[in-house]
Amino acid sequence: MQVTQETFEMAILAAPVVVLVLAGVTLLLLLLRKWKTALVMAFLTLLVNGCTEQIPLHLSGELPDEKPEGTIRILEYNICGKVEYAPMHGEPFIDYVKNLDADILFLPENTPGTAHGFERMLRETYPYSLHDFPAFEQLVVMYADLSIYSRYPLSNFRSYHLDMEQIKRDYPYLDQDAVEFIGNYMIVYEATADVDGTPVTLVHVHLRTNSYDSAKSQSKGKRQKVHNIYENLQFGYAYRGIESQSIADSLRDCPNPLIVCGDFNDLSGARCIRIIQNCRSRNVHENHRDRLSDAWWRGGTGFGFTFVDQKLHLRLDHILYSREFELQAVRVDTVSYSDHRPLIADFTFNP
């Protein structure tokens, strides 16, 4: 295994466990009446939790079932276009979407057939839609991958692309064949929504996965399994950093109110998310007033897991928004039309 800077920064994956362990130690110290030590541990718990944005504890109430008047409701839901989930994307799912009454739907891992089927069934509610159909000739299953359905007019669609030669120069330790294949597409695109006369830039992302399933299926024995998982984590981490930097560079001078959401395949506090949050700043560590906010961190309570498969519970889906939006409420639904869970947020808009 090659140890690089990415190895240490990937430690964010352990942040939720670290926060829980620190909180548990704090509670134990309180029970043992070790007041001073407990105070120090409580401070350390809050510090780690705040820096990594893992477990918000807002008590302002959950997002209501009925959308409040004057709000914009956003749904981000990776519907997982695998064969086993296809039967779930029929009428019950459509009824769920209609009852939710969201204004903009972001649906990663859509398939071509499902995407156009949704378009027909949702046309009255969402007259505007966009889909991205990258060419996956080498894959058995073809994904449309990203779909947006909107009540607001959509325009200025564009896909993001990567400079492959630059990637090879900057990351020589990455598997170049894998970089070449994955680099033929970048599952990110942008559109402009006309929200009551104000242009709003929407960026829909599906960043590189860590491919836990392939790491396990290609392993013979525990040692090789650990090695493969580590290699996939390293590659996924580096590649998401490349993707997120490309997104941030493109949005640096964006004059419009901004929403960036999708399946980031990484946890809150991860480098790829911080890069995008600071897309309007010249320094990723700078506390810039235009830093994009994370909806769950700003209004959620608890872990907010959006991925609940393969014995993993993670918050991989995120809604980031600029200061022209004011978050009113956010929730993660428990419906199971996918191995992900829907993330829903209500905003008021003050351009």
**Helices marked H in the chain:** 5-9, 15-31, 35-52, 91-100, 112-121, 164-170, 176-182, 212-217, 222-251, 271-277, 295-299
CA dist., res. 112 & res. 348, Å (int): 33
State the amino acid at position 135 in one-letter form.
A
Provide CB contacts within 8 A for 78, sequence distance 6+: 107, 108, 109, 206, 262, 263, 306, 307, 316, 317, 338, 340
**Mean pLDDT, rounded, for 97-126:** 89
CATH class, 72-349 region? alpha beta
Q: How confident is the model at residue 101 (pLDDT cuts 50, 70, 90)?
A: very high
Confidence of residue 288 (pLDDT cuts 50, 70, 90): low
Mean pLDDT of all residues in 285-310 = 83
Quickly state the pLDDT bin for 275 (edges 50, 70, 90): very high
Question: Is 70 exceeded by the pLDDT of residue 85?
Answer: no
Tell me which of 141 and 238 has the higher pLDDT. Answer: 238
DSSP tag of 337: S
Half-sphere exposure of 92 (CA within 13 A, CB side): 9
pLDDT in tens, 129-149: 988 655 444 443 444 578 899
pTM assigned to the model: 0.87
State both tokens at 23. Answer: 């909180």
What sign does the CA torsion over 283, 289, 290, 296 have? positive
For 179, list phi and psi in degrees, rounded to 5: -60, -45
Separation of alpha carbons 115 and 122, rounded Å? 10
Of the listed ranges 87-101, 126-140, 265-279, 294-308, the one predicted with least confidence:
126-140
Q: What pLDDT, on a 0 to 100 scale, did the predictor assign at position 231?
A: 74
156-181 per-position pLDDT tens digit: 988 877 767 767 776 676 666 666 65
Report pLDDT for 160.
78
Q: Which of 147, 242, 154 is nearest to 204 (CA)?
A: 147
Tell me the average pLDDT across 237-242. 82
